[in-house]
Structure formats: C-alpha cells, structure tokens
Amino acid sequence: MEPKTILKEISPSRTQVSGVNKLAKSTQSALEKHLPKSVKTLLAGSVAKGTFLKGAGDIDIFAIFPHSYSKEKMFKSLEKAAKAAFPRAQRETGYAEHPYLRITLKGKRIDLVPSYEMKFGERVKSAVDRSQLHTEYVLSKMKAPQKKEVLLLKQFLKANLLYGAEIKTKGFSGYLCELMILHYGSFEQFLKAASMWKLPVVIDQEKRYKSLRAVPDFKSPLSVIDPVDLTRNVAAVITHGNAQRLVFLSAAYLANHSEEFFFPKELSREELSNCLGKRGIFALAFDKPKDVVDDVLWGQIWRISGQLESFLKKAEFKVLGAHPYATDSKCIILFELRSSVLPKTQTFRGPFLDQTEHVSVFIRKRKGPFYFDHGRVHAMGDRVLWNISLAIKQFKKSSGLPSHLQEYIPKAKFPGPESLLEDYPDALEEYFRINWFPK
C-alpha cells in the first residue's frame, strides 16, 4: 500500500482539525478568565503541532504559573478556575509528577496541566515544564510535509503496539516520533536507519555534545538527547525488547510493504486456536487490585511478569516470550515455553576436581550418580519442578512479591487453552502481535 493511500486513512479531516482547534481555543479563553492574571495558558501536544492521528486529537492545555507558586497552590488555583469555567464538565484528577485535571467537553478529552514558566537553558523545576519547550521546538523545526511523515510513523508504531510512553506500553511517545522524523527526514528513512541499528544507539539531534562519547551513559538501548534538556533521554522508557522489535519490524516492512504493518487484521477464534495448538502458550491469571493508580499497578504487573520469567528460567524452562495484560477486573501474564515438561532428572554442577575440600562437601551433599566434564564433577538428581503445573504452584508461594499483588498471586489461576480462548482472546491477540504471529 502506498504512503498516500495510508495517509488518507489516518489523517484527520479538515473539519476535525478545525473543530479540535476551535474547542482548544475556546477552552483556553474560558479558563484564562478565571485564572490569576499572572498565569497564561498554552496549547501543547499533538494538536498544537498538527501531528495527531484521525480519531485522536486529545487536547493538552498548560497553565503556565510564575515560580512563586508552590505545586500544591498551582493545582488548587487551576482546579478552582476549571470548576468556575466548566461547571457541568466531567472532571477527574490524574497524576504525573504532580496532579493535573482531566475534563471532557463535547466528547473530547482535555488535560489541564499546571506547570512553571520555563525558557531554554533554565533548570527544570517540574518534569512537565519541558512540554511548553517541546512544542516550541517542534513548531520551529518541522516543515509541513514532515507532519505527514510523523503520522505514518505513529500509525506504524500504534499498529505494532509500540506507540505510547506510559508504563503499560514502554514505547515511543508522540514527541519522540517527531524527533525521529526531524532527525531522519522521513518515515522511510527512519525505518532504513532503524533496520540497521546495533543497540545501544545514541542520537543527538542538535549535536549538543562534541562527540557521542561525551553523552551521559543512560544505560538504555536507545538514547535520544532532548534538544531542550541535555540531561534527559527522551527514549528512556523503551525496553530492550521493544527496541529489538522495532529493528525487526523495520526490516520486515522494508522487505514487504504490506498494509498489515499499519492495519493489522484481527485474528479469528480459529486462528487463535490453531496458534495455541502449535505453540506452548500458558498463563497466570489473577484479580486486578482496585484503587491503585495505573502507573503504579502496571509497574507491579511488569515486575511480577519479570519475576515469573526469571523463576521459570532458573527452573530450566526455555521461556520464548512473556507479556502482561489487564482487563477492567483481571490481570493475566501470558508466557510461551519451548516445552512444558522437563526431564525428571537434572544436573548439579560441582567444583573443579583439584578443589579437594569443595569436592568432599559436594559428594556429601549429592548422592550421585556423578560424572566429569571440563575438569568439574557433576551430579545427577531428581528434578522437583519437572512440569509447568508444579512450577506454577511453587511460584505462587514465592516471597518478595510486589506489594499490591501479594494477596492475589497465591490465589491466581492457571487457565487452560479453552479458558484462554473463551476469557482472554484480546490478551492472546496482543501477545501474538507482539511476538510476531505470521500474517
């Protein structure tokens, strides 16, 4: 499918763009009437930059406060103004580094974010302060045709579950997409470069550092220096697995320009069932804790997923993939094994033969039979966790579980294939999309 055809599908109409901008301006105007005179408002995000996808266009409005305000006073002032300006609007409080308001007007989600006034080069007082500079930077650098390239990149990443910097996804933010297009020039050029990345990769768009060796070690697979803050890696949230998947997807798309890289087809129940029959997919399912902020909850869900994967690997299962998923009431950790059954005996590696004292201790500890390999003594013994059911039962008794999940993991279920198909088809769909189900 040609990029022009894709753009027709993903670009907002003139009517949508006009409507979103009109709503944004009227919201700003109404809010400013009830804010202190020293406070200004700024439209930020993809609406301000003209880089939002069709059907998206959530509005971000920043209330810019003088530095004399405390964070608590900023929020209270903004909340008071929002209540006065939009008395009938549905409101809820969200949390980033500090609270912000989310309201709904004419069916559109609008985030009202308190922040401090900031100029280039100034020290960040609050993480959200950079957003006003991000908007200024992109608007000053990006040419009109490049905005279309941003849309292609966003849709590509969205279709492959790599779009979004929240903890649930750990992927590309909208701002990072914009920086990639500014750096490489186009969507196609970005993919050509990404397909050849040898991780870790460092990108310094504005060449703020004299050499890449001078760039701070962010210990990330992808480090993208924020043009407005040299100390920040815009891609910090991206995991090594997601970075590797992007490299693979880039090469795959360049080899076959299929529309399914942008508009993946939903897998039928029959396809899900066939795939389950061919691959060793298992799951641990448990109730979703209530009244826990999403970022905190997802942090713990990812942690328990990592703990489960480590536990299984230590028990010598070959783990091919693991992925958490959540519904309104349930959490599920899907994982794939090369085999769900291990030999009923296992090897215990001992010391080198010339370490006499250690060899004696090892012999007393292990009954044998013994054998020798590369100068070491080894013993054979019975394997306790020789199948996945036994391993899961043992894992549910683990200590050191994440605080909000401690009461749920011991009661977790181990659903079979039919239960997975019936109760968690969306989780399976997501797992197979992430783990490259053949299209």
362: CATH = 3.30.70
Instruction: Provide the CATH number for the domain around residue 428.
Output: 3.30.70.590
- Mean pLDDT value across the chain: 94
Average pLDDT over residues 258-269: 93
Q: Are residues 212 and 253 in the same domain?
A: yes
Q: Answer whether residue 1 shows pLDDT above 90.
A: no
Q: How many CB atoms lie within 10 A of CB 383?
A: 16
Q: Alpha carbon 4 to chain centroid distance?
A: 29
Of 210, 235, 261, which one is at a domain's C-terminal end?
261
Answer yes or no: is pLDDT of 369 > 70.
Answer: yes
Which of 122, 150, 170 is where one domain is finished?
122
Average pLDDT over residues 240-254: 96
CA–CA distance, 411 with 257 (Å, rounded to integer): 46
User: Distance (Å, rounded) from C-alpha 290 to C-alpha 326?
Assistant: 12
Q: In this predicted structure, what is the pLDDT of residue 127?
A: 78
Whether residues 328 and 408 fall in one domain? yes
Domain containing residue 423: 270-341+385-434
**Residue closest to 260 by CA, chosen among 338, 352, 341, 159:** 159
For residue 134, tell me if it sits in a domain. no
**pLDDT reported for residue 418:** 94
Q: How many CB atoms lie within 10 A of CB 314?
A: 10
- The predicted-structure confidence for 284-293, as pLDDT tens digits, reads as follows 999 999 989 8
- Asked if the structure places residue 414 within a domain, the reply is yes
Residues 286 and 421 placed together within one structural domain of the fold = yes
Picking from 69, 73, 47, the residue whose alpha carbon sits closest to that of residue 59 is 47
Query: Whose CA is closest to 327, among 293, 284, 269, 288?
Result: 288
Averaged pLDDT, 116-140:
86
Q: Is the peptide bond before 200 cis (omega within 30 degrees of 0)?
A: yes
User: In terms of domains, do 311 and 350 share one?
Assistant: no
Residue 8 lies in a domain: yes
The SS3 of residue 71 is helix
Mean pLDDT (whole number) for 20-26 = 97
pLDDT score of 130 more than 70: yes
Q: What's the structural domain count of the chain?
A: 4
Which amino acid is it at 196?
A: M
Is the same domain home to 179 and 297?
A: no
Q: Is residue 313 part of a domain?
A: yes
In a domain, 132, yes or no: no
> Is 135 within a domain?
no
Coil vs helix vs strand at 95: strand
- Do 420 and 306 sit in the same domain of this protein? yes
The residue-averaged pLDDT of 406-410 equals 97
- 330-351 mean pLDDT: 96
Of all residues in the chain, what percent are helix, strand and coil, respectively (each to 5)?
A: 45, 20, 35
CATH of the domain at 26: 3.30.460.10
Residues 98, 190, single domain; the answer is: no
Average pLDDT over residues 425-437: 88
Indicate which CATH number applies to the domain containing 152: 1.10.1410.30
Q: Is residue 213 over pLDDT 90?
A: no
Residue 95 phi/psi, 5-degree rounding, is -135, 125
pLDDT band at 437 (very low <50, low <70, confident <90, very high): low
Q: Are residues 275 and 422 in the same domain?
A: yes
Q: Taking 90 as the threshold, does the pLDDT of residue 326 lie above it?
A: yes
Residues 278 and 427 in one domain: yes
Task: Determine, yes or no, domain membership for 439.
Answer: no
Examine residue 137 and state whether it is found in any structural domain, yes or no: no
Check whether 357 has a pLDDT greater than 70. Answer: yes
Band (pLDDT 50/70/90 cuts) for residue 94 is confident
Residues 29 and 111 in one domain: yes
Residue 134 has pLDDT above 70, yes or no: yes
Percent of the chain clearing pLDDT 70 (strictly above): 99
Tell me what pLDDT residue 59 has: 96
Q: Is residue 182 pLDDT above 90, yes or no? A: yes
Cis peptide leading into residue 415 (ω within 30°):
no
Residue 301 pLDDT greater than 90, yes or no: yes
Same domain, 180 and 288: no
Query: Are 47 and 77 contained in the same domain?
Result: yes
Instruction: Give mean pLDDT, residues 21-31.
Output: 97
DSSP annotation of 52: P
State the number of CA atoms in the 13 A half-sphere of 213 facing the CB.
Answer: 0
